[in-house]
Amino acid sequence: GSCTLAFASIIPKSINNNPFTFMTTVSKTAEFELAYPVSVRSLLGGMDNSIIDTFGGEIEWDNFTVKHTERRGRETSIELRYGKNVTDINYDLDSGNTYSAVVPYWRSNDGSLISLPPDKVVTRQGATSEKTVTLDVSRNYDEIPVDEDLLAEAQKALVVSPDLTIKVNFFELWNTEEYEKYSQLQRTYLGDTVSVIYTEFGITDSQRVVKTVY
């Protein structure tokens, strides 16, 4: 059924008195079942096949109101810029999940092995490092895959981008006298997207606020 129906069932199905109000704007429909007693918190997100797992979206807690939306927060024009309001920045580019070459293969239950002829390897064009991994695609195909299938699986694995993590601490301009008139324009909330600009590192990126500390 619908995500709306799942949310409407929380209060009637609660064992104890439930003082919360639950609302959702997610219209997705999916198969959803709760086969055993769990806490409402786990039901929303934090267990396999939770509402978040099944219907997607994000949760916002507002005292006793629980809001479920496709994405909380807003796109803003706020800039976190070196020399203006950034107090500390950590920039980490993890290429541990990227490869220069992939060896795809498929194997049947009786041990038969299918791989790409002649050298079995698919190399990423322009790769500057040498990191080759094996790729088992057996679960993806019930029947023997053709060479084109194996090639497509390998190429899909090769286009994974490095994981970029930027952690920024910034000065809250909305708390200063100079920005008193513009405090609402400079205020950021959990889920908001802001621009991070650090020209010394060549960083110009958009990042979401994923944590706030009070």
pLDDT along the chain (214 residues), means of 10: 93 93 94 90 91 94 94 90 85 73 88 83 75 86 89 83 78 80 81 88 84 81
Measure the CA–CA gap between 203 and 5, rounded to whole angstroms: 44
Of 159, 154, 166, 175, nearest to 195 (Cα)? 166
- Secondary structure class of 13 (helix, strand, coil): helix
Query: What per-residue confidence (pLDDT) applies to 7?
Result: 94
Query: What per-residue confidence (pLDDT) applies to 207?
Result: 85
Query: What per-residue confidence (pLDDT) applies to 63?
Result: 94
Query: What per-residue confidence (pLDDT) applies to 34?
Result: 85
Count of H helices and E strands in the chain?
A: 6, 12
Query: What per-residue confidence (pLDDT) applies to 213?
Result: 81
H-state helical runs in 95-186: 147-158, 183-186
Query: What per-residue confidence (pLDDT) applies to 211?
Result: 84
Model confidence, pTM: 0.58
Query: What per-residue confidence (pLDDT) applies to 29?
Result: 93
Query: What per-residue confidence (pLDDT) applies to 52?
Result: 94
* Token pair belonging to 180: 């008193």
